[in-house]
Amino acid sequence: MGLWSSAEFDNHEQVCFFSDEETGLKAIVAIHSTARGPAAGGTRFKAYESEEAALDDALRLSRAMSYKSALAGLPVGGGKSVIMGDPARIKTRPLLHAYGRFIDRIGQTYATGEDVGMSVADIETVNEVTPFVGGTSAGAGDPSVHTAIGIVHGLRAVLKWQFERDDFAGVKVAVQGLGAVGWGVAERIHAEGARLVVSDIRKDQVERAVERFGATVAPIDKIHEAEVDIYAPCALGGVITEATANEVRARAVAGAANNQLATPEAGATLARRGILFAPDYVLNAGGIISGLEATNGMPGRSKVDFPSLEESLAQIHDRLTQIFERAAAEGRPPEVAAEEMARELIGR
């Protein structure tokens, strides 16, 4: 496993490998940048196919967190944790405590929270041994709620830019993945009149969406081809490849999943076909925004003033609009303009 030879390595400031023989913990923390403040990023608990895949994921996601925080105007940097293994099999209270003790060692430069495979209850267990966590029920609460709210603000920017409208009435949206965030997005836009097409690996969740929202069901591997206005990937990343980018029928792609574009060429394909892509790390910034209050109260951290949570979430709309404007003016895909803006903000 080569750190510096990884294609995802981007002069990361620090990468930590933690292990605990007694509990079976194997974790990686990648800190991409602390230029704007101590790094922050969630913990992903997942059965990776290899150690290399886990490392690449931590590196890639931590870089996205740097961009996400910078474009959201937050005084924090970017980091990410991954715990290797099937959470259904190996996640235990002692393992989470062991992980928390490791986080405590680097708490002046990194704080973590919930992500795939980790619940609010899990983060609260980690919080029992370290103060360097956010997203607990004692703070802003479940970050997925705020992520969903932020995405809806971002979708309004997409509607205005691509469809020249301000409301969801009659707009067809394909939501891929009905987890906490995907469901929250579906619920909110349905209440405003959107017509939903959904897919999820959990049959019961799909049936629930049909009952609650009157949704149409699409196969998991075909929902990107649905004849809708907006395709919203809200599960795991990498779903838009060069092949699937050529099959998308929506006029816009805007969802919650991290790293939706498998390759830069996939984004270029969408742009060439006139399909608007909303950079995921801008759209899904609600979670990290909601954690800022907790970060402000961590020991040894300098307190900073920041807008209210509601105002900060609403600003996702304005930042996306700025990105769309810059991309159009420069004749480049939105994700390219967004990355350049983010790197300017973190001094790279």
**Residue 4 covered by a domain:** no
Position 54 scores a pLDDT of 96
Position 140 scores a pLDDT of 66
SS (H, E, C) 98-121: HHHHHHHHCCCCEEEECCCCCCHH
Contact 33, 14 (CB under 8 A): no
Residues 198 and 333 in one domain: yes
Position 14 scores a pLDDT of 97
Contact 245, 125 (CB under 8 A): no
**Residue 231 covered by a domain:** yes
Lookup: tokens for 60: 């890639």
Residues 134 and 58 in one domain: yes
The tens-digit pLDDT sequence of the chain (348 residues) is 677 888 899 999 999 999 999 999 999 999 999 999 999 999 999 999 999 999 999 999 999 999 999 999 999 999 999 999 999 999 999 999 999 999 999 999 999 998 889 998 999 999 999 999 988 887 666 788 999 999 999 999 999 999 999 999 999 999 999 999 999 999 999 999 999 999 999 999 999 999 999 999 999 999 999 999 999 999 988 899 999 999 999 999 999 998 899 999 999 999 999 999 999 999 999 988 988 877 878 888 877 777 888 999 999 999 999 999 999 999 999 999 999 999 999 998
Position 272 scores a pLDDT of 97
Residues 184 and 332 in one domain: yes
Range of the domain at 267: 144-285+317-345
Position 53 scores a pLDDT of 95
Q: State which of 123, 138, 153 marks the end of a domain.
A: 138
Residues 119 and 193 in one domain: no
Residues 117 and 189 in one domain: no
| Residue 227 one-letter amino acid | E
- Kindly name the residue from 26, 46, 80, 91 that is annotated as catalytic: 80
| Domain total of the chain | 2
Instruction: Determine phi and psi for 308, rounding to 5 degrees.
Output: -65, 160
Q: State which of 112, 138, 164 marks the end of a domain.
A: 138
Strands, sheet with 14-20, edge to edge from the N-terminal-most edge strand: 14-20, 25-33, 77-84, 39-46, 110-113
Residues 156 and 187 in one domain: yes
Lookup: tokens for 178: 């009905």
Residues 123 and 165 in one domain: no
**Residue 246 covered by a domain:** yes
SS (H, E, C) 155-223: HHHHHHHHHCCCCCCCCEEEEECCCHHHHHHHHHHHHCCCEEEEECCCHHHHHHHHHHHCCEECCCCCH
Report the sign of the C-alpha dihedral through residues 346, 338, 266, 158, in that order.
positive
Residues 176 and 240 in one domain: yes
Residues 6+ apart with CB under 8 A from 126: 43, 96, 97, 99, 100, 103, 112, 133
Residues 93 and 194 in one domain: no
Question: For the chain, percent helix, then strand, then coil, each to nearest 5?
Answer: 45, 15, 40
**Residue 302 covered by a domain:** no
Residues 116 and 46 in one domain: yes
Residues 322 and 216 in one domain: yes
Lookup: tokens for 121: 């209850």
> What radius of gyration, in Å, describes the C-alpha atoms of the chain?
19
Contact 44, 52 (CB under 8 A): no
Contact 287, 42 (CB under 8 A): yes
Q: Look up the pTM and report it.
A: 0.88
**Residue 193 covered by a domain:** yes
Return the closest-CA partner of residue 339 out of 266, 261, 274, 282. Answer: 282
**Residue 102 covered by a domain:** yes
Q: How far apart are CA 233 and CA 258, in angstroms?
A: 9
Position 1 scores a pLDDT of 60
The CATH number given to whatever domain includes residue 101 is 3.40.50.10860
Residues 134 and 153 in one domain: no
**Residue 268 covered by a domain:** yes
The CATH number given to whatever domain includes residue 271 is 3.40.50.720
Q: How far apart are CA 26 and CA 51, in angstroms?
A: 10
Mark whether 172 is an active-site residue: no
Contact 113, 99 (CB under 8 A): no
Contact 300, 324 (CB under 8 A): no
Q: State which of 93, 121, 138 marks the end of a domain.
A: 138
**Residue 262 covered by a domain:** yes
